[in-house]
Amino acid sequence: MELILFIITALVALVSAFMVITRRTPIASVLYLVLTFFCLAVLYVMLGAQFIAAMQIVVYAGAIMVLFLFVLMLLSQRGAQTWEVAGPMRKWLGFAAAGGVLLVAATALQSVGVSDTVLDPEIGTVSSVGSALFRRFLLPFEVASVLLLGAIIGVVAMVKRKPYPSETEEGVEHGS
Amino acid sequence: MTFNPSDILTIVPEIAVVALAMLVILTELLITRRETVLQLMTVAGLLVVMALAVLTFDKAGGAFNGMTAGDGLSTFMKALLAGIALLAVLMSRDYLTPPTDAGGEGRGVRHGEYYGMLLIATCGMMILVSATDLVTVFLGIETTSIALYVLAGIRSERARSGEAALKYFLLGAFATGFLLYGMALLYGATGGKTNLTEIGRAITDLGPDRPVYLYMGAGLVMIGLMFKVAAVPFHFWAPDVYQGSPTPVTAFMSAGPKAAALTALIRVFAGALPDLSAAWGPALWVVAALTMTLGNIVAISQKDIKRMLAYSSIAHAGYLLVGALAAANTGTYNSATAGIMFYLTAYYLMNIGAFTIAILVSRARENGDYQIDDYKGMAALHPWTSAAMALFMISLAGIPPTAGFFGKLYVFSAAVKAGYISLVVIAVLNSALSVFYYLRIVVYMYMQPEVKPARVRMAPAMALVIVICALGILKFGLLPGDLMRWADRSASMTVKPSPRAAVALNDHDQ
Amino acid sequence: MSNYLYLIPLVPFAGFIVNGLFGRKLGDRAVGFIGCTVIGLAFVLSIAAFVELLGYDPYQRHIEAEWFTWLAAGKLQIPFGMLLDPLSAVMILVVSGVSFIIHVYSIGYMHGDRGYARYFAYLNLFVFFMLLLVLGNSYPLMFIGWEGVGLCSYLLIGFWFTDDAKATAGKKAFIVNRIGDFGFLVGVFLLFGAFGTLTFSGVADQVLLWVDPKTVFFWIGLCLFIGAVGKSAQIPLYVWLPDAMAGPTPVSALIHAATMVTAGVYMVARNSFIYVMSPGALEIVAWVGVATALFAATIALVQNDIKKVLAYSTISQLGYMFVGCGVGAFAAGISHLMTHAFFKALLFLGAGSVIHAVQHAYNHTGYTGDPQDIRFMGGLRGKMPTTYWTFVAATLAIAGVPGLSGFFSKDEIIWKSFANGHSAVGIIAMIAALLTAFYMFRLVYMTFHGSWRGRRGQEDHLHESPGVMTLPLTVLGVLSIIGGWIMIPHALHGGAWFEKFLEPSFAVADEIAPMHGSHSLPFEYTIMGISVLLAISGILWARAWYIQNPEAPKKLASRFKVAYQLLLNKYYVDEAYNFAVVETTLGTADGLWKFFDVKIVDGLVNGVAALMGWLGSIFRRLQTGLVSNYALMMTVGVVIIIGYLVWR
């Protein structure tokens, strides 16, 4: 039962992730991304990490995705921009390279042994995550706040300015 | 597992830098258009941070449950990073407020935010250099990177600056993906360890039959750090980003993150994964050789000084990787690490000096370009500035008696001791090659008739930066003893690779 | 002793500081005075050191004065110290003495030059580095001097940088020297790897106790020799020296004849204990030396620029010094180094005096020609007697006429080649000696004899140079004559005092591999006789061609046109190098850059597309286009690295 659930969720996650990078309209990409995140949340639950799963849905699938959608909608008011990314040649090279990574990773991951350690049922619960955050990971937790502070100031610094010139005002010189 | 109040002492420099960042940003709100006050405040604050970094030296090493260490290596590097930020701040104000008749480069940047981002990047790097846990390594890298993305694009009224930021961000995020994947695999393969010392111990306990995905994890972490160091083939972002970013930021970027990422590389690979060096050693060997060779060869044909210095910085990363390789050998850990510290100090001085003069010369041009041709005949008009530039170039080329020479001497002699003779031969050959393009600037300044002389207007803060850099290069070039002793002592007080991990590396030399 | 040993290099350095910082304000007279005084002081100190050294027992003459620990990093402990032994004592005397004479000469020669202060500052700096090079007691210190003199040489060659060719020559000198320095550095790293110490005495002590295989010595010796080849202008790195003559003539005399270029010889002699451990490396030194001696002599036969002839002659004579070292007669090499410093400095200064006079005459007649072309000289003997006689003295010395300094040192080298069993080397060295006598007298005859071949009326404006220039000529003339008298060999009932004095410096080498050379007196007399005969026939040959029958060389040149052109164009080596090295390097760099940044990243990806006609819209959207290309390349890197780690 669990195995079947896992296979279905994993497949959906993979397919929707693939769709994210192949869709031409950004909105569609974002929606597929939401789906991917949901599937990941299911996988977290199956690993016993309920709190992380909840966070995954609340923060990523919820807040961040909504933000993405808003940005895209605001942007598309200024004229929708489809990203003309690649000619066929580059697309195939891209696939080849990604395939290479996949091949290498697949080879390497075959060596992952099946662990028979019984996980502590407490792991992934709110209290254990909270206790880990404020005890063992106290410093990283605080550093993360600096990171976010930097990001906030940075965004303000970059946005609160004259608008970005619409077209490149100077040719971008490549390798001269 | 509990919080120990005295642990805070270890991170006093980081706290001070963040506090300074917030102070500067808030002050700007209160006193608008008082750039000098802001700059002086930042400079004074960074001097305090430098002092704190030295004072908080903690022999005991770890703090916060092994997340961070206040050992010799991190103390030295924190002081160095504060120094890098200090000079970057000093050279920034005149760049951000251009003379009224010049092209408006740098206008519209709010100084407080700019300094604030610079300080947050510094804080991130400080966390990175003292990180003894994969989690702090990651957070350090990310804090640094996010601040740097912003700094690269802070002059966003210029398309090139915005483009640099975007490129750096996209590629940086891409590299972070690999880094995180690698960390996850290491975590899995070592049975849920994130602490570097514990990882090292766990790998030793695994014995000879290690799972293959452990190697993959190590490789991916290496790639993530290589990206930050700008090693070939993960260097592609560097020339574009260095060229596009505001020049003080470029100077800061070429010295700081490289130093921090290299320290992390030493901590992770020489510290935690020396057992696997038979695997990653040859890979790093090839990457180091490629990095310096490509950097030097491509630098020769550059016509823009920022691009030239960008490729030169790639080449220097290659020399430094030689040292990192030697540090993985227990026998030469101390001398290689100390050599790297010395090299980084020297590199910081000569590189920031060169960039400062590049700004001055560029400001003298109406179009604000960075063409190497602009240096023609400069010596006749500006003997002192030219002499300083010549000194920086000579030091970058590694010619004695300058600090650059001793940096190379220490790093390469450690590598020879570790048995990497053919790699050192490649490195020395490369530094002979590099003379070609460094010297071109000197030749242009001294031996070419001036076409249209660049009338450089010296600003006091810029002059101060140049004097500090020049004096430092001469001091460490003539009497390198003090700095070397400090570096040596710092290196010997590092959370070291475990003795069981001693693997003779000599047979990996190709 | 240790109290003032540091002052020997430091006093010239003080001169550099004063002249460099305040030179322009001080005025030319003060600059010249300071410049000469500091060097004079260094010379006096060198004499004092030498005298003090003589006070010790011969085998106690090794004084190391360590000032402080200069570099300390773990096992690497390098003191900042000076080493005074017979070898370095001779070197400091020669360097400071000849420098002093040339500084005095420069007061007259550079009179009225715009960069007078700068010139003296550079010259003082040069002397500082050169003295550091010969006095330093460790390889890193020596390397600092080594690089420093290179830097000064480069600055002084390009001194009148308005002249583009001079700037190019300076650059060439520097770049070629870097190839040599590469060898030096690798050699030093190998030394450090093998011995873990970098002081001369530290390495020498360990060599004595060495039991492992000796191949490492071959590689160390070879690498160091590459450094020497670069600095001392030997085949194949000699190309920079003739071009270096573009600098002011006193600079050619001091740096590119008397002192700096001999640094390579000094270095090989200083490392005698390394070289004797590897006969193979010594063999290479000897053969490169003798090949250069002959090769450069043939080029000198047909050059028409007075300084070019002397430049190739310098290369050839440096070859002799390496022959001396290569056959194990280090003392003979150093002897020739010293005598060569006297007579070659004199020749250059004499040439400077001639050029000075000819330029003066040209200026007066409003003629703008090359004042260095000997085809348009002649008959200067009567106009400039002091220059003429001193020049002849030096020429006789270099040609190896018995009794003069060059005879004793050169003959010693040739004799030692035979005595130590390198007969082939000796024979080639003898042929080169014949050529030396010929081309030097060709130079004398064409410059000073016959009648003026320049424009009519110019000869009335030719004058002897001022006293400040002729006095140095006279002093060097005397030294060129008597300088060899301290090395008269036993065969001629002399004391071979110089060789005996130097002996302790090569004691370690001698202990490792004693030279059991031939001591047959008749053999030595025969060799000596042949040498003298060759020198005299060279002189007579030149006299026959350039005084008695001036048409002969022209006829010969037209008959053997190809050979003549080949020599005149210096075997086209410069052209070949330019093509092989400069063009190719630049081409490769440019190509590689285009290859990596354009072809692979944008090209392989976009360029292929471009071929198919899809370039347009993609390439213009550089912003995203490039980033994804970069990302693609990074991914390829990831696959390679991880693939290697996984399938290793």
Domain boundary among A42, A57, A75: A75
Q: Does A97 touch chain B (CB under 8 A)?
A: no
Task: For residue C469, give every residue at least 6 positions away whose Cβ sits within 8 Å of its Cβ, in sequence order, or none.
Answer: C105, C108, C109, C349, C352, C353, C356
CB pairs under 8 A between A and B: 121
User: Of B281, B286, B311, B283, which Cα lies nearest the Cα of B297?
Assistant: B311
Task: For residue C578, give every residue at least 6 positions away whose Cβ sits within 8 Å of its Cβ, in sequence order, or none.
Answer: none
Which residues on chain B are in Cβ contact (under 8 Å) with A132? none
pLDDT at A118: 60
Domain hosting B405: range is: 8-509
Most A CBs within 10 Å, among B68, B134, B135, B223, to test the A interface: B135
User: pLDDT tens-digit profile of C13-24?
Assistant: 998 888 887 877
CA distance to partner chain B, nearest, from residue A1 (Å): 26
| Contact state of C612 with A89 under an 8 Å Cβ cutoff | yes
Domain assignment of residue B3, yes or no: no
pLDDT at C196: 79
ipTM of the complex: 0.87
Buried b (16+ CB within 10 A) or exposed e, B80-93: bbbbbbbbbbbbbb
Distance (Å, whole) CA B65 – CA B63: 6
Most B CBs within 10 Å, among A139, A145, A161, to test the B interface: A139
User: How many C-beta atoms lie closer than 10 Å to residue B20's C-beta?
Assistant: 24
CA distance to partner chain A, nearest, from residue B42 (Å): 17
| Contact state of B167 with C148 under an 8 Å Cβ cutoff | no
Distance (Å, whole) CA C645 – CA B276: 10
CA distance to partner chain B, nearest, from residue C174 (Å): 9
> Quick check: C609 pLDDT over 50?
no
Give burial (CB, 10 Å; 0-12/13-18/19+) of B60.
Answer: exposed
| Contact state of B428 with C186 under an 8 Å Cβ cutoff | yes
pLDDT at A173: 37
Q: Does C6 touch chain B (CB under 8 A)?
A: no
**How many distinct structural domains can be found in chain B?**
1
Question: What share of chain C has pLDDT > 90, as a percent?
Answer: 12
Q: Does C637 touch chain B (CB under 8 A)?
A: yes
Which residues on chain B are in Cβ contact (under 8 Å) with A171? none
User: pLDDT tens-digit profile of C410-452?
Assistant: 888 988 888 888 889 999 999 999 989 988 988 888 888 888 7
- Give, rounded to a whole angstrom, the gap between the first and last alpha carbons of chain C: 62
pLDDT at C188: 86
Q: Provide the residue type at C169 as one letter.
A: A
Give the DSSP letter of residue C458. G
Contact C425, C290 (CB under 8 A): yes
CA distance to partner chain C, nearest, from residue A82 (Å): 12
Q: Does C632 touch chain B (CB under 8 A)?
A: no
User: Of B213, B142, B148, B149, which Cα lies nearest the Cα of B180?
Assistant: B142
| Contact state of B159 with A169 under an 8 Å Cβ cutoff | yes
| Contact state of A174 with C629 under an 8 Å Cβ cutoff | no
H or E element in which residue C76 lies: strand C76-84
User: pLDDT tens-digit profile of C25-56?
Assistant: 788 888 888 889 999 999 999 999 899 888 88
pLDDT at B101: 46
Most C CBs within 10 Å, among B235, B240, B301, B402, to test the C interface: B301
pLDDT at C616: 30
Domain hosting A27: range is: 1-75
Of C69, C73, C147, the CB nearest to B410: C73
Give burial (CB, 10 Å; 0-12/13-18/19+) of C493.
Answer: exposed
The CATH number that applies at residue A7 is: 1.20.120.1200
Of C192, C631, C642, the CB nearest to B219: C642
Residue C287 pLDDT level (bands cut at 50, 70, 90): very high
Q: Provide the residue type at B499 as one letter.
A: P
Question: Which chains have 3 or more CB–CB distances shorter than 8 Å to chain C?
Answer: A, B
Which residues on chain B are in Cβ contact (under 8 Å) with A112? 188, 211, 213
> Quick check: C561 pLDDT over 80?
no
Which residues on chain B are in Cβ contact (under 8 Å) with C592? 294, 297-298
| Contact state of C73 with B425 under an 8 Å Cβ cutoff | no
Task: For residue B189, give every residue at least 6 positions away whose Cβ sits within 8 Å of its Cβ, in sequence order, or none.
Answer: B210, B211, B213, B214, B217
CA distance to partner chain A, nearest, from residue C441 (Å): 55
3-state secondary structure of C148: helix
- Parts of chain A with a pLDDT under 70: 74-88, 114-122, 160-176
- Greater confidence (C312 vs C494) lies with C312
pLDDT at A171: 37
Q: Print the SS3 string covering B325-369.
A: HHHCCHHHHHHHHHHHHHHHHHHHHHHHHHHHHHHHHHHCCCCCC
Chain C residues 548-607 with a CB less than 8 Å from chain B: 585-586, 588-590, 592-593, 596-597, 601
Residue of B nearest to A144 (CA): B139
H or E element in which residue C77 lies: strand C76-84
User: How many C-beta atoms lie closer than 10 Å to residue A92's C-beta?
Assistant: 11
Which residues on chain A are in Cβ contact (under 8 Å) with C639? 97, 100-101, 104
What is B408-427 written as a DSSP string?
A: HHHHHHHHHHTT-HHHHHHH
CA distance to partner chain C, nearest, from residue A88 (Å): 8
Contact B160, A164 (CB under 8 A): no
Residue of B nearest to A170 (CA): B159
H or E element in which residue C68 lies: strand C63-73
Residue of A nearest to C608 (CA): A89
H or E element in which residue C39 lies: helix C28-54
**How many distinct structural domains can be found in chain A?**
2
Q: Number of helices (H) and strands (E) in chain B: give both, helices first.
A: 19, 2
User: pLDDT tens-digit profile of A57-105?
Assistant: 888 878 888 888 777 776 654 444 444 555 667 778 888 888 898 888 8
Contact B141, B173 (CB under 8 A): no
- HSE (side-chain half, CA atoms, 13 Å) at B132: 23
Residue of C nearest to A101 (CA): C639
Token pair, residue C270, equals 């200083």
- Parts of chain B with a pLDDT under 70: 1-3, 32-33, 58-61, 98-108, 156-159, 366, 447-454, 495-510
Which residues on chain B are in Cβ contact (under 8 Å) with C646? 212, 215-216, 219
H or E element in which residue B281 lies: helix B277-300
Of A112, A157, A174, the CB nearest to B117: A157
Of B65, B150, B215, the CB nearest to A158: B150
> Quick check: C599 pLDDT over 60?
no
Are residues A66 and A131 located together in one domain of the fold? no
CA distance to partner chain B, nearest, from residue A143 (Å): 7
Per-range mean pLDDT, top range of A48-62, C92-106, C359-373: C92-106
Token pair, residue B219, equals 């490789």
pLDDT at C613: 31
Question: Which chains have 3 or more CB–CB distances shorter than 8 Å to chain A?
Answer: B, C
Which residues on chain C are in Cβ contact (under 8 Å) with A101? 635, 638-639, 642
Residue C263: strand pairing partners: none
3-state secondary structure of A141: helix
| Contact state of B116 with A162 under an 8 Å Cβ cutoff | no
Most A CBs within 10 Å, among C599, C619, C628, C640, to test the A interface: C628
Residue of C nearest to A91 (CA): C605
Distance (Å, whole) CA B247 – CA B242: 8
Domain assignment of residue A97, yes or no: no
Per-range mean pLDDT, top range of C170-184, C185-199, C547-561: C185-199
Residue of A nearest to C622 (CA): A172
Distance (Å, whole) CA C240 – CA C224: 19
Q: Give the residue-averaged pLDDT of C600-617.
A: 38
Are residues A132 and A69 located together in one domain of the fold? no
